[in-house]
Amino acid sequence: MKKPLLAILAVGALAPPVHAQDALPPDADLRAAALEWFEPIPETPVAPEGNILSPERVDLGAMLFFDPRMSRSGIFSCQSCHNVGLGGTDGLETSIGHGWQQGPRNSPTMLNAIFNIAQFWDGRAPDLAEQAKGPVQAGVEMNNTPENLVETLETMPGYVDAFAAAFPDEDAPIHFDNFARAVEAFEATLITPNSAFDRFLNGDDAAMSEQEKRGLDAFMTTGCIACHAGVNLGGQEYYPFGLIERPGGSVLPEGDRGRFEVTQTVDDEYVFRAAPLRNVALTAPYFHSGVVWDLSEAVHIMSSSQLGTELAEPQADDIVAFLGTLTGQQPQIVHPILPVRGATTPEPQPMYDQ
Amino acid sequence: MKKPLLAILAVGALAPPVHAQDALPPDADLRAAALEWFEPIPETPVAPEGNILSPERVDLGAMLFFDPRMSRSGIFSCQSCHNVGLGGTDGLETSIGHGWQQGPRNSPTMLNAIFNIAQFWDGRAPDLAEQAKGPVQAGVEMNNTPENLVETLETMPGYVDAFAAAFPDEDAPIHFDNFARAVEAFEATLITPNSAFDRFLNGDDAAMSEQEKRGLDAFMTTGCIACHAGVNLGGQEYYPFGLIERPGGSVLPEGDRGRFEVTQTVDDEYVFRAAPLRNVALTAPYFHSGVVWDLSEAVHIMSSSQLGTELAEPQADDIVAFLGTLTGQQPQIVHPILPVRGATTPEPQPMYDQ
């Protein structure tokens, strides 16, 4: 991605298509245009800043990610809402947490989240490590405290050994920051390369069908790229939801003012991080409110609310077909065998009310 | 296991130990005695009666086992309460289900459950397929209906293909019985061979320590084997909990009369299937009530309630050490990638009240 996004936010500032309305450009031209905006997912994971991807740290992170004892109840793990088998989401409108409380926003995928500029719908966590500290403490989610979580880890010999191996230079490696760092290391490996789109970007003309190529072309020429570009086709910047036309209250509930809650700036009312679109065909329901189950409907809502355009049905279908090419190789994760509890490990407290 | 269990149920009918009280018999004699009662777990899974373990059927079963969309809420899967990373249990006293309801009994492990005579604490399901139909329908667990479950499966092309491959001779393979059959096929593969105990049984003298061998000897001579024998050291017969002395109401709540609820026979009051002890060191908390977290305490309670014996501390420690040798190789399961939902797949209904 080479063009600054903000420079083209105003609709209409996009370069006109280099071809007649219904003609598909030659593959080489389409690829060249796409490479101005998008990047393929790398084949191998990259270590986050300030972290390393040693096998010991990644394996520890997998254990923590799948361990329901990280929640106060002993019921919810990271995996509960970011299911590696469900495109990294929970498939619910908004997540259910401790005590069957319903959370305020749709659970975003952790697949390829390493490529986002910041985490959460409002970007309030600068990186995956900081993100990992949120849900474990949220009363509506895992309802735990750093103290209880650390005590849980310290009293299991299997975790004592695993932290020592993952952080070999530290005398007292079990602490909340290292919990988060290990989860971040594991999540950094959860990337989905080799989608049809990536194979096309990398030179394989046959990786995408004619319809999918028309959809890619339309995705660029109608202006979707203004917000959905980069390696994740989104996740790079913040934009008002309802830039042109505010969608109905079920899609954009008044009570959730988005990034305003983070910055307390009026300009940030109803501003959200543009959703990353990798694997979007797997991650229904859509939007932070999670009320839209159909990808085509989501495309139409985006078009009218963000671009002020009513897409013709064939073009919308083409874009949906293109979005399907963003489904990459899903991670093959061996479910970790979790450490056995120790004699003084805190018992799960499903009825604990913080 | 060669001796009929019921013949020795009356305490005192056991053969006296063939050695002086504190002397450990030679390994060959100890092994020969043990092989009268126990069998090693086979190295490879065996197909349940009326089922096959084709890769297609086992893989489908794994998908169903891990899929939270088998519950009405979209939140609970079989894996939620029978976690492959936690010895096949959820580590809770009793499980939490739909709407944060607390279930009546501790979640038993599905590891090696294929070797039990019947399933559930009260043996009300004759096999794993019948068992699999229970929790999905229980209002306090997954709160689903067979109709909604089948509709969920039929509307996902990935499941349509997977059922066709798993049941290639059937014209309409998606139905509730085949759901259960596929889950049973997967669960039949969840065995934990090569424990230290199995290696000892198979001829490796060095597989168990002196203390563990003393514990095995004590396990046989004090009478634990009356109920805990066979390949699973339990899971073969039904016995009254509190045969000699009824434990306190927290361990044996009055309201749960065990197998009586199945047979409506007075003789079956407070009768339960003897707990299988494979991997017992991983499956705290203990008993159907799940109120005992310490394995040593559980051994003492069993000794006084079932045998009428107060075990001396060294002997109890030895038995606990022996029980630790029952931890086998845990299954290495790649978390399945689950089928994407279809346009008409029923939406999850976390607030659905059956």
In this prediction, residue B305 has a pLDDT band, given cuts at 50, 70 and 90, of very high
Kindly state the average pLDDT of the residues B228-236.
Answer: 96
Instruction: Look at residue A112 in the predicted model and tell me its pLDDT.
Output: 98
- Chain B nearest CA to A26, separation (Å): 32
Please, which residues 297-326 of chain A have a Cβ atom closer than 8 Å to chain B? Answer: none
Token couple for B319: 């038995």
- Higher confidence at residue B2 or residue A181? A181
In this prediction, residue B224 has a pLDDT band, given cuts at 50, 70 and 90, of very high
Q: What is the pLDDT of residues A77-101, one digit of tens each?
A: 999 999 999 999 999 999 999 999 9
Is A122 in a helix, a strand, or coil? coil
Kindly state the average pLDDT of the residues B272-293.
Answer: 96
Token couple for A311: 């897409």
pLDDT at B280 over 70: yes
Would you say A113 and A119 are in contact if contact means Cβ atoms under 8 Å apart? Answer: yes
Instruction: Specify the amino acid at residue B226.
Output: A
- Chain B nearest CA to A102, separation (Å): 9
Chain position carrying tokens 């071809």:
A19
This prediction's pTM: 0.94
Active site members of B: 141
Instruction: Look at residue B3 in the predicted model and tell me its pLDDT.
Output: 44
Nearest-Cα residue of chain A relative to residue B342:
A294
Nearest-Cα residue of chain B relative to residue A334:
B334
Name the region of A99 (left: φ>0; alpha: ψ -120 to 50; beta: rest). left
Nearest to B92 among A100, A340, A350 (CB): A350
Nearest to B74 among A68, A85, A91 (CB): A91
CA distances from residue A258 to A213, A234, B287 in whole angstroms, order as listed? 34, 16, 48
- Chain A residues touching B92 at Cβ < 8 A: 74-75, 348, 350
Q: How many CB pairs under 8 A join A and B?
A: 91
**Pairwise CB contact (< 8 Å): A87 & B335:** no
Distance, CA of A168 to CA of A184 (rounded, Å): 17
Q: What is the pLDDT of residues A281-331, one digit of tens each?
A: 999 999 999 999 999 999 999 999 999 999 999 999 999 999 999 999 999
Mean pLDDT score across all residues of chain B: 93
Would you say B121 and B109 are in contact if contact means Cβ atoms under 8 Å apart? Answer: no
Confirm whether the ipTM is greater than 0.90. Answer: yes
Q: Are strands A271-273 and B271-273 parallel, antiparallel or unpaired?
A: unpaired
Instruction: Specify the amino acid at residue B228.
Output: H
- Chain A nearest CA to B55, separation (Å): 17
**Pairwise CB contact (< 8 Å): B68 & A83:** yes
Mutation site for A-interface testing, chosen from B63, B71, B75 by largest number of A Cβ within 10 Å: B75
B97 touching chain A per CB within 8 A: no
Which of the residue ranges A65-74, A149-158, B147-156, B256-265 would you say has the lowest mean pLDDT? B256-265
Kindly state the average pLDDT of the residues B286-313.
Answer: 94
B330 touching chain A per CB within 8 A: yes
Is B109 in a helix, a strand, or coil? coil
Instruction: Look at residue A201 in the predicted model and tell me its pLDDT.
Output: 98
CB atoms within 10 A of CB B51: 18
Chain position carrying tokens 């067979």:
B146
- Low-confidence residues of chain A, pLDDT below 50? 1-18, 20
Please, which residues 112-151 of chain B have a Cβ atom closer than 8 Å to chain A? Answer: none
Instruction: Look at residue B21 in the predicted model and tell me its pLDDT.
Output: 52
B348 touching chain A per CB within 8 A: yes
- Chain B residues touching A346 at Cβ < 8 A: none
In this prediction, residue B9 has a pLDDT band, given cuts at 50, 70 and 90, of very low
Chain position carrying tokens 């990353």:
A276
Instruction: Specify the amino acid at residue B294.
Output: D
CA end-to-end span of chain A: 45
- Chain B nearest CA to A190, separation (Å): 13
A141 an active-site residue? yes
Kindly state the average pLDDT of the residues B70-95.
Answer: 98
